[in-house]
Amino acid sequence: MPVHHPDFVPDPSLSRDEMESQQRAIARHAVFTDDLWFDPALLGDPIARATADASSGPDKDADSANRDDGTAPLVAGVDQSFLLDQDRALSAIVVLRSAGTGWDVVEQVHAVTPLEIPYIPGLLSFREGGAILAAVEELSVEPDLYLFDGSGRIHFRQAGIATHIGVTLDAPSIGVAKNLLCGDPVDSTEGLAAGERVAIGANADVEGPAKLGTDEGDAGSAGDPDWPTIGYAVQSKQYDSPNRHVNPLLVSPGHRVSAATAADIVLAFAAGYKLPEPTRLADAYADEVKAEYR
């Protein structure tokens, strides 16, 4: 997939101030509303998918789960790992396509690149982005949507790794994180049942439009009606037992996807595990490749 914004390719040689400035520019380019050619609701509805497959043809509406050639959208899961003894980053990508009541693996690729900066909260994309873009170059197919192991808009400058790479590629993207980087839930996230979600609002740690360089207003707070929801705590799985508990995922739009649709899609890919299938399979593939390097 071609790089749409080469000026946003992660450059680990930048100073911290320069990296943060670039993230603000990325946030200004990011689109946190739906810009998808397919209906995301069909990703997790096998009956609807089957109906769409059966009705696909030369006169079908473009706003469906199928391409013009009758195939379903390609959804890529991206996961990062590390070869610490070799001081290198490993990025794994698994591309899925809906088929019947499940998903088929269309392609899986990986890339390994040097680790050039240490871990700095909020600057993860500059540490891992090079490996991700190198893995994207290995793909023979062009995904219609990317799910990243990391944050999107739930980020200090609204430009987590899903937003950074999504804008760089100009591809729809979603961030699926395990920990809350910033922002506040508008309600308790304790004891959520599978399928439930709680909105995440901005707090003082999130730079608002005024700081980012737009005229849409300044930073808000959780529950502020003038500040849009920046993501959701999504309960993808829960045990039916008081002694076992699964924490929710922190899902946020990366680029060309709304917060609500991002949550819908992650739940659509829930298959009995905490992680949605694209990133779960990418995580498993990363472990498989990592073992080969050992």
Residues 6+ apart with CB under 8 A from 18: none
Report which DSSP code applies to 11: -
Least Cα distance to 274 among 177, 188, 144, 187 occurs for: 177
Is 79 labelled as part of a ligand binding site? Answer: yes
The amino acid at 282: A
Residue 50 has which token pair?
């089957």
Is 215 labelled as part of a ligand binding site? Answer: no
CA 12 to chain centre: 21
The amino acid at 3: V
The dihedral formed by the CA atoms of 279, 276, 193 and 200, expressed in degrees to the nearest 10: 60
End-to-end CA distance of the chain: 30
Q: Binding site, residues? A: 79, 149
Q: Binding site for Mg(2+), residues? A: 79, 149
